[in-house]
Amino acid sequence: MKKLFLFALVGGLASNAQAQTAIKAGTIQLGGTIGYSRSSQDTPDFLSSYYPGVLTTTTSQFAVAPAVGYFVADNLALGISGTYQVTHYALSSTPSYQSSNEKSTLFKVGLFGQYYKMLTEQFGFTGTLGGGYQYDGRPYGYNSGDLAGKGAYANLTPAVVFFPIPKLAIGASIGGLDYSYFSIKAPNSPSLTDYKKSDFGANFGLSQLLFSGTFYFGR
């Protein structure tokens, strides 16, 4: 009898905790992600008249992605998101005889679905499935004008989420599954052949680190 009572008590507490941690249908969330990464690589420069020469390639990237969603069911939100991403590419040589700097800009806009799995009232996981339209503009070089890529994207991103207060969440992710498709043209260079590009893969690592902040209305 005592064991039965204890099992009932634990079950009741678990059900109560689940009821408290659920983000209810009708809640509105407003937030997004922000991230910055930088990488540098040195390679031998065999074309240099100086030996051994070194080419240094540095890539830095900043991205911000606002999003707004509506909980159509407990712990399940649907919404719209956008992304603005700037990437800088720098090339330098040692001894110094050449250098270059280029910048590409990526825009995205699309829809997403996000599911929350709360383990406690303050800590849990999210899975976000999104997709939509994207545009990528970047320099081609050699005075041939810029490349313009238009296409579609899809991604699945897991993340951890922490609620310091019930209406505010802080999240972090280190990548996910990504699909990207571009139809690429050079508007200022008719002689350059148009082409298509698609990529699919799992991208995880600290270079993919993104932080998010989300505010919940009606929670």
Q: How many CB atoms lie within 10 A of CB 17?
A: 14
The mean pLDDT value for 84-107 works out to 81
CA separation (Å) from 142 to 100, 137, 139, 183?
12, 16, 9, 21
pLDDT digits (tens, 9 = 90+) for 68-94: 999 999 999 999 999 999 998 888 877
Q: Residue 123: its pLDDT value, please?
A: 95
**The architecture CATH gives domain 24-217:** Beta Barrel (2.40)
C-alpha to C-alpha distance for 110 and 154, rounded to whole angstroms: 9
pTM: 0.72
C-alpha to C-alpha distance for 125 and 115, rounded to whole angstroms: 8
Q: How many CB atoms lie within 10 A of CB 153?
A: 19
Nearest by Cα to 60 from 26, 96, 90, 93: 90
Residue of higher predicted confidence among 34 and 53: 34
C-alpha to C-alpha distance for 54 and 46, rounded to whole angstroms: 8
Q: Is residue 176 over pLDDT 80? A: yes
